[in-house]
């Protein structure tokens, strides 16, 4: 069975979802939908329209025609052709779209910016795959939470974790953003950070807290994580590194190799020739891993634009029940996304 | 005749030169040479070694072996197989390499960081192609100068230009650079900037001056240019835009379309799927073009990592005399680099 | 006669206006007015209330009482005591305040953010002092325009200038701003910049144009200026420097002395012990001055938070006619602000 | 007894030490010493030489004469007049100076950049005052460690602390620095950070670890701290805040009041009129305090240029034994520095 997938909102996340789905041999990307001829849509045109474009309600078709951008049909047309929608619309729009999805009997996966109430299940491919099985509406964790849970789930399944404390050093804008930014300033959010709270929703057996600080950079969040061994069983540096090194969605890197920070990882992903310099894996610095009582502390890098793509594709498998077993599902996603091939 | 080309120094520029050469149907990329298993070399390995790797003198082969990076041979081995080398070694190394090139009877094109004395000809594909014909050693203009001359040469050939004044708003580091940077500061250089001086070397009929200010960003220099019509003949906004719009290496953009600054152009190049988010064209803002007496003033964007690739490939054609006519040469380069296809 | 002065809006500009007026021996700062207990008002309290505080309409007095911040009276109370108001309210509020000023028969000087229509005269202390004599409502030029005109007026009075082209490298936010910012991006504005247009309003005999680029820094704009000698009479580097060196509101600096950019000037002003690290003078780099045909090109630094204070105080002298002669007026302002004492 | 104090190195730290000492009624600032007419020395001259200047060996006196900067004598002349030197020379120079101090029978306090071996005692005014009593050579903790220990010592004396984990979000350069910087990048250091290790030297009963990330900003480090109650005795948010609120060197701030990050604190210190916008206190965000098991987590702000001044002055009192009791000593320092007056 080939799952027919559509993408709503062809922006920073949407175009990466489209590419990710297109690479899955058991899925078909039917098309993408958007409202206006943004830079991303113009680039789609200049690339020769590898994906069909549908217009959401409110779009001015004449603007697309003026630019000779082919339009395949309306949002309704798209919904009539798909099994499931990946909704990366601007925050709040997803909730409105949900009514259309229900009417068209189409499932949907919403991104982290949407409110929790939009979905039946708050989902993470590795941590709670089973909860998504057969669900109609799933919501992905946000980029930071998705990457964070990868690392915590990795330790938890191997050794048991009962407490987590994080410091999120957040990149404040994406490359190319002009509508938001920070100049020569760090900014504090009210604690605990929502990422710590969200982690507890996905992994209710863990007590988590954390502080988030915004920083004026664009290439990837860095999170320091303290994971406390369950019931006081110590997690050593060696234990943690062995687990991390075996995880296909975690790339362990070293300062001595030239991975000095978030910008090195972006540079490396560009040099790899990955489209847009994207990286699906979180980076994890071997040099950052230290022990603290029964806990282990370490730093991870979250490539904010692309990190949620694998778990979103996992969500398609769960919702459509094309894979009912967690490890088989994520392994298939990894394979088609070429993740972990360095292992 | 297929020209056999090697690249010395597989860093920011070198890997782009390699890709650029590999796309030319009348050239063959024999291999690339480097000293150490840098991030870029590691990425080459992870990509499956699309290019053969040779080691320059002083390289520790065991470090490559430890990483299972295949090595094809020595720098001398590479020189024995090529007609011409593109030298993007760190500044100063090119001069030392020149002796090897002479000994091996191999021509070479050096990058802008090398001292002028390394070459017989200071070269720009559009502005002085004829000077490079048959030359053994050419040096490219630097990234800013290369892009600047494209725009000035475009106006000069069409309408005549006798004076140019520039303000260079320089990006201070490339994405991923940790060895240099500036934090919350603008920095002034002694005027006139070397770019203005270099322009006069390439275009001796023009009086040029300018001021350079470093800024803490990584995605492209911006230069404001004032070009004075020769002998006081006015260049109007309309005249200038018509000329710019017809140039395959100049991409005219508009604020209303979402091109708000250098970061928008990088974003767009990433969305295009260009490897590393590279762009060969300079951007030129239609909204920036204004008239001032007989002069026209405008702003251009210089994608510093990739802008010199086309002119370097032009230099290969000139040195090897595979094309003796300027416009035919640059047009062939443009074709294989897919430049100007939006025209 | 001691002129009684009030300040509306005790923010970035307002608190500097208050300090500036307080230093003038022929003026009395009656008080400052604001709406809410901002950080600046809290600092005023912690300093021991050197200035009396009045509340504008809409202020919630209980919030001030809760913080034990003494309130002297209402905005109307303040207006009843002053001859002239310096209005540095947020943009648009000044226009509403104007009706109150008219009703109270109080003159006013508005800041650059207010719309031109608010005032009878668009004012610059050095360039058009006479126009302000006796006027009821004046509007200051913006920070960039104020500093730019200082330099252009200096050359114009000495040698004659008929054309000016500028590139503004704008700092995008003030230190402490969290409501605006730019991260790793340069941003282009539609040309010509309003500063060039405003210069022509103040100096109608000059043809001016220019391009503005926003940069992610906080310590001072840098403007490159090309000034063309009137009727083609050459202004040499030596001529320009001699004029600049004699101007009490222009501080000529050198790279070799450690003034490498805008951040050096801020550092120096802090080291001087100036309150807030303020500097009233524009910086002008000797190393940036170059000749271009009959024109001279140079770079200036605009300390955006404090540069308009002297010209605003000039405006008080003009409006109140306490000095009817331009040079006597600005010299008195300079003396009380300790400007030019290094000459 | 009035202690006679000299300062070696009149740079970022040295000029602040000089001001701090000058404000202590039981100390006399004899003079400051430096090597070259830096911007700070030029500013001292423009301020009218409030402090006498002595030249260290290797200084070229003619350069000072050319600028009409009065020189009082040599470094040896200064040493002959003082009881104790505060050495804020560039790293490594302090060690060389030590021989001169020994020869002149002068005590000295070195700054954090010097190697540990230079001193008999590694010192923090609040945490180990007694260790410094009568010592000849003391070394201060670095800026981050000094501020961090203030907060940890505050909790430790009140409730007991046995484990500390930190994430340091480090500002990478000071305002005005052009010799170092980072552009659009976060940078990771090898863990554990030296600040965690240094904390354990000063407070050996605590197990500490941590990770440091450099960020491209200039106004204050931010550290997130997790402090574990000794032997598992819980430290609640309320307990912690009560202790912090009573500490004269900790300023508890709130987001709702406008203290959004490190730049707000710098802005506030400037608005206070503090010379250079300096702040001696660390900031501590009330909104950041959260509980995590028996631990409390919170974020502090370290004003890197000025935070060590109080503890350095404490060191003078300890070394000279003008106060033998810890609390009396720090209270006297606080009083003369006007710290804690908001309590």
pLDDT, residue B115, reads: 87
Best probe of the C interface among A183, A187, A216, by most C CBs < 10 A, is A183
pLDDT, residue B90, reads: 92
Structure-block tokens of residue C67: 């913080």
pLDDT along chain D (343 residues), means of 10: 96 98 98 98 97 98 98 98 97 94 98 88 98 98 98 98 98 97 98 98 98 98 98 97 98 98 98 97 98 98 98 98 98 96 78
Structural element, H or E, at residue C334: helix C326-336
Considering only CA atoms, which of D285, D290, D268, D289 is closest in space to residue D277?
Answer: D268
**Does residue B91 register a pLDDT over 90?**
no
DSSP assignment letter at A193 = P
Rounded Cα–Cα distance for residues B222 and C186 (Å):
8
Q: At what angle do helices B309-320 and B326-336 cross, to 10 degrees?
A: 130
Structural element, H or E, at residue D202: helix D194-202
Q: Which of C263, C292, C299 sits opposite B209 (nearest CB)?
A: C292
Q: Is D143 a catalytic residue?
A: yes
Rounded Cα–Cα distance for residues C10 and C35 (Å):
9
Q: At what angle do helices A262-271 and B39-46 cross, to 10 degrees?
A: 50
Collapsing DSSP to helix, strand or coil, C121 comes out as strand
Dihedral sign from CA coordinates of B131, B132, B133, B135:
positive
pLDDT, residue B114, reads: 86
Structure-block tokens of residue D319: 């070394």
Q: For residue A191, name the pLDDT band (cuts at 50, 70, 90).
A: very high
Q: Are C115 and C95 in contact (CB under 8 A)?
A: yes
Radius of gyration of chain D (CA): 20
Q: Which of C167, C218, C287 sits opposite B167 (nearest CB)?
A: C167
At B312, phi and psi to the nearest 5? -65, -40
User: Average pLDDT of chain C?
Assistant: 97
ipTM of the complex: 0.97
Dihedral sign from CA coordinates of D125, D126, D131, D134:
positive
Q: Which of B163, B222, B292 sits opposite C163 (nearest CB)?
A: B292
pLDDT, residue C286, reads: 98
User: Average pLDDT of chain A?
Assistant: 97
Burial of residue B123 (CB within 10 Å: 0-12, 13-18, 19+) is: buried
User: Average pLDDT of chain B?
Assistant: 97
**Does residue A343 register a pLDDT over 90?**
no
At C27, phi and psi to the nearest 5? -135, 155
The predicted model scores a pTM of: 0.98
Dihedral sign from CA coordinates of C186, C187, C192, C196:
negative
Q: Are A313 and A20 in contact (CB under 8 A)?
A: yes
Q: Are D184 and C183 in contact (CB under 8 A)?
A: yes
Rounded Cα–Cα distance for residues D321 and D328 (Å):
12
- Would the CB atoms of D187 and B178 count as touching at under 8 Å? yes
Rounded Cα–Cα distance for residues C145 and B64 (Å):
58
Place of tokens 């002129």: C3
- Would the CB atoms of A218 and C183 count as touching at under 8 Å? yes
**Does residue B256 register a pLDDT over 90?**
yes
Q: Give the distance from residue B169's alpha carbon to the nearest chain C alpha carbon, in angstroms.
A: 8
Considering only CA atoms, which of D152, D195, D150 is closest in space to residue D307?
Answer: D150
Cβ contacts from A onto C, under 8 A: 50
Residues 6 or more apart from C308 whose CB is under 8 A from it? Answer: C13, C111, C112, C140, C141, C142, C143, C146
Task: Name every residue in D having a CB less than 8 A away from some CB of C.
Answer: 15, 38-40, 42-44, 46-47, 175-178, 183-184, 219, 257-261, 263-264, 266-268, 270-273, 275-277, 342
pLDDT, residue C91, reads: 85
Rounded Cα–Cα distance for residues D68 and D65 (Å):
5
Best probe of the B interface among C164, C177, C186, by most B CBs < 10 A, is C186
pLDDT, residue C102, reads: 98
Q: Give the distance from residue A305's alpha carbon to the nearest chain D alpha carbon, in angstroms.
A: 16
Rounded Cα–Cα distance for residues C135 and B102 (Å):
78
Rounded Cα–Cα distance for residues B234 and D265 (Å):
53
- Would the CB atoms of B257 and A40 count as touching at under 8 Å? no
Q: Which of C47, C258, C261 sits opposite D273 (nearest CB)?
A: C47
CA C14 vs. chain centroid, Å, equals 11
Q: For residue C341, name the pLDDT band (cuts at 50, 70, 90).
A: confident
Rounded Cα–Cα distance for residues B32 and B75 (Å):
9
- The residues that bridge with C137 in the sheet, in sequence order, are C108
Structure-block tokens of residue B327: 């416009």
Catalytic residue among A21, A85, A143, A339: A143
Rounded Cα–Cα distance for residues A275 and A293 (Å):
42
What is the mean predicted confidence (pLDDT) over B270-282? 97
Catalytic residue among C135, C143, C172, C316: C143
- The residues that bridge with D207 in the sheet, in sequence order, are D163
Q: What percent helix, strand, coil does chain B show, rounded to 5?
A: 40, 25, 35
Residues 6 or more apart from A213 whose CB is under 8 A from it? Answer: A167, A168, A169, A170, A186, A187, A188, A189, D169, D222, D224, D261, D299
Collapsing DSSP to helix, strand or coil, A55 comes out as strand
Residues 6 or more apart from A273 whose CB is under 8 A from it? Answer: B43, B47, B275, B276
Chain B residue closest in CA terms to A11: B271
Q: Which of C39, C184, C263 sits opposite D175 (nearest CB)?
A: C263
Place of tokens 């001072």: C220
Dihedral sign from CA coordinates of B51, B175, A299, D182:
positive
- Would the CB atoms of B217 and C185 count as touching at under 8 Å? yes
Other C-beta atoms within 10 Å of C163: how many? 18
Rounded Cα–Cα distance for residues C119 and C108 (Å):
9
- The residues that bridge with D169 in the sheet, in sequence order, are D213, D222
Q: For residue B151, name the pLDDT band (cuts at 50, 70, 90).
A: very high
Catalytic residue among B56, B82, B143, B330: B143
Q: With contacts defined as CB-CB under 8 Å, which chain D residues touch A169?
A: 167, 169, 186, 213, 215
Q: Are D244 and D285 in contact (CB under 8 A)?
A: no
Place of tokens 């001829």: A37
CA B34 vs. chain centroid, Å, equals 20
Rounded Cα–Cα distance for residues C267 and D116 (Å):
30
Residues 6 or more apart from C97 whose CB is under 8 A from it? Answer: C8, C85, C87, C89, C108
Rounded Cα–Cα distance for residues C195 and C308 (Å):
14
Question: Domains of chain C, with CATH numbers?
Answer: 3-141+308-336 (3.40.50.720), 143-302 (3.30.360.10)
Structure-block tokens of residue D31: 């003079």
> Taking chain C, what is the end-to-end CA distance rounded to the nearest angstrom?
30
Q: Give the distance from residue D41's alpha carbon to the nearest chain A alpha carbon, in angstroms.
A: 27
Rounded Cα–Cα distance for residues C289 and C246 (Å):
16
At B32, phi and psi to the nearest 5? -125, 155
- Would the CB atoms of D299 and A191 count as touching at under 8 Å? yes
- The residues that bridge with A168 in the sheet, in sequence order, are A212, A223
- The residues that bridge with D154 in the sheet, in sequence order, are none
What is the tens place of the pLDDT at every residue in C273-326?
A: 999 999 999 999 999 999 999 999 999 999 999 999 999 999 999 999 999 999
Q: For residue B342, name the pLDDT band (cuts at 50, 70, 90).
A: confident
pLDDT, residue A311, reads: 98
Q: Are B259 and B118 in contact (CB under 8 A)?
A: no
**Does residue B174 register a pLDDT over 80?**
yes
Structural element, H or E, at residue A73: strand A73-74
Q: With contacts defined as CB-CB under 8 Å, which chain A residues touch B172?
A: none
Collapsing DSSP to helix, strand or coil, C65 comes out as helix
Burial of residue D58 (CB within 10 Å: 0-12, 13-18, 19+) is: exposed
What is the tens place of the pLDDT at every residue in C230-255?
A: 999 999 999 999 999 999 999 999 99
**Does residue C1 register a pLDDT over 80?**
no
pLDDT, residue A342, reads: 76
Q: With contacts defined as CB-CB under 8 Å, which chain C residues touch D38?
A: 258
């Amino acid at each position: 069975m080939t799952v027919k997938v559509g993408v709503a909102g062809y922006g920073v996340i949407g175009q990466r979802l489209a590419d990710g789905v297109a690479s899955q041999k058991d899925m078909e990307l039917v098309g993408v939908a958007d409202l206006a001829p943004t830079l991303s849509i113009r680039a789609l045109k200049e690339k020769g329209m590898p994906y069909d474009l549908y217009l959401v309600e409110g779009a001015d078709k004449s603007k697309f025609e003026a630019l000779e951008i082919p339009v395949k049909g309306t949002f309704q047309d798209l919904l009539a052709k798909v099994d499931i929608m990946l909704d990366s619309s601007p925050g709040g729009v997803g909730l409105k779209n949900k009514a259309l999805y229900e009417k068209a009997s189409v499932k949907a996966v919403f991104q982290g910016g949407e409110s929790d109430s939009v979905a039946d299940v708050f989902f993470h491919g590795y941590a709670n795959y089973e909860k998504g099985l057969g669900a109609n509406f799933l919501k992905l964790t946000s980029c930071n939470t998705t990457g964070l849970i990868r690392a915590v789930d990795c330790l938890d399944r191997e050794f048991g974790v009962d407490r987590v404390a994080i410091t999120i050093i957040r990149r404040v804008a994406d490359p190319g953003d002009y509508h938001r930014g920070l100049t020569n300033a760090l900014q504090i959010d009210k604690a605990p950070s929502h990422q710590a709270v969200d982690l507890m929703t996905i992994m209710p057996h863990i007590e988590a807290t954390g502080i988030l600080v915004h920083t004026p950079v664009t290439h990837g969040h860095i999170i320091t994580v303290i994971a406390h061994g369950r019931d006081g069983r110590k997690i050593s540096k060696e234990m943690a590194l062995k687990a991390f090194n075996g995880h296909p969605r975690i790339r362990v890197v070293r300062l001595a190799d030239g991975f000095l920070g978030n910008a090195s990882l972006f540079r490396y992903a560009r040099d790899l020739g990955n489209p847009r310099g994207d990286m699906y894996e979180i980076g994890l610095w071997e040099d950052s891993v230290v022990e603290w009582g029964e806990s282990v502390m370490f730093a991870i890098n979250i490539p904010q634009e692309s990190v949620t793509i694998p778990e979103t594709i996992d969500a398609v498998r769960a919702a459509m029940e094309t894979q009912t077993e967690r490890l088989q599902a994520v392994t298939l996603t990894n394979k088609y996304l070429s993740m972990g091939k360095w292992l």
